[in-house]
Structure 1
């Protein structure tokens, strides 16, 4: 892809994220987006079907980056699990604007599900290996862990990332590996 196309796509993505900070995707028009990006509509439509398609592409970029980060780690040890969680939180901090919008009510309602679908096999593998989950309700435990972790990340973003990515990673890691009253050291 040539530089002009990359620049145009990047500009459109940035402008959509900025607009989503103000209002939901359903209240944004392609015309408004094109005006904000200083791009004509035909150029927009040469890249995307509509603004929902653009939002989905933004989410796909984040999911792709997360997949790449997850592939770097082996979850065989608790230490690597913590390192992976820290890396994920560092990425979210770096992509703060995009992640905050995608996880907000103004963003892509399917994004959380896509994140859960990405993380579920990893968490299932970890829990099945360590806890040998069995029983009728065992399928809900990994979902509880993932949805709770996403809720923590959402609140962290809403609060302006007052804690470091490492602190939030430690909190998620503590809960995931030791529960609320585990035997690991208290969080700072």
Structure 2
């Protein structure tokens, strides 16, 4: 069997991609996502269109990468790590274990993006696509429900959690901490009723 090495990305590529993402975030703070163009993005990043297309095939590709960073979407986790019984203080220090809609950065870097009304459904869909195959089996194990019923719970949890975080403008403060604990208690109580 031949081992395939992962291609190392050089510093110039990393620098350019970061410049594009930073320019994207700057533009979102100035106007909504719907008004961002490749031309404006290139101007803000001080690159050419051909350079942009060397790194991304569309503005949506930039959006997806920025969303992954903003929501701290993990690359892999064991289903057991989704257990919110770990305790809120532990989860607060290890945000990648909190459900995706509850993982938000402490800085205001991504707030305008996450608050953009044109993107709410897209962001929720992005989270669901990324988390579905990690979360659904864990929920099935916790509840004993069918895949179809678990999908319904998953849909409810993601939309509800996103709405609560949006109401807090994605700012971690004592009220946010209280509400996350409340949601986790509610969710855990729900798990127990299905298991009984």
TM over 0.5: yes
Which among 150, 155, 161 is matched to residue 143 of structure 1? 155
What do you get for the CA RMSD once the two structures are aligned?
Answer: 3.6
Taking a change above 3 Å as real, the CA distance of residues 164 and 7 of structure 1, as seen in their structure-2 partners, is: farther
CA contact (8 A) 1:25 1:52 kept: no
1:157 has 2:169 as partner: yes
Distance 1:32 1:171 in 2: 42
Shift of residue 51, structure 1, vs aligned partner: 2.2
Secondary structure, aligned partner of 2:173: coil
Distance 1:164 1:109, change over 3 A: same
Deviation at 1:16, TM superposition (A): 0.7
SS in 1 for 2:80: coil
The question of whether the paired residues in 2 share the 8 Å contact of 1:119 and 1:146 is answered with no
Tell me whether 1:49 sits opposite 2:57 in the alignment: yes
For residues 58-73 of structure 1, the aligned pairs below 5 Å read: 58-61=66-69, 65-68=72-75, 71=77
Is the 1:103–1:111 contact (alpha carbons within 8 Å) kept by the matching residues of 2?
no
Asked whether the equivalents of residues 21 and 106 of structure 1 are also in contact (C-alpha less than 8 Å), the reply is no
Answering whether residue 124 of structure 2 is matched by residue 112 of structure 1, we say yes
Residue 187 of structure 2 corresponds to 176
Q: Which runs of 5+ in 1 are unaligned?
A: 183-188
Structure 2: unaligned runs, 5 residues or longer: 1-8
Residue-by-residue CA offset, 1:48-106 (whole Å, 9 max, x unaligned): 2232332233234557x4224x6167248552375457614685224643365146324
**Alignment-derived partner of residue 47 in structure 2:** 39
Question: Partner residue of 1:74?
Answer: 80
Structure 2 counterpart of 1:10: 18
Stretch of structure 1 that moved more, 130-139 or 111-120:
130-139
Distance 1:81 1:117 in 2: 27
- Kept in 1: contact 2:79–2:138 (CA 8 A): no
Change in CA separation of 1:6 and 1:75 when aligned onto 2, cut-off 3 Å: closer
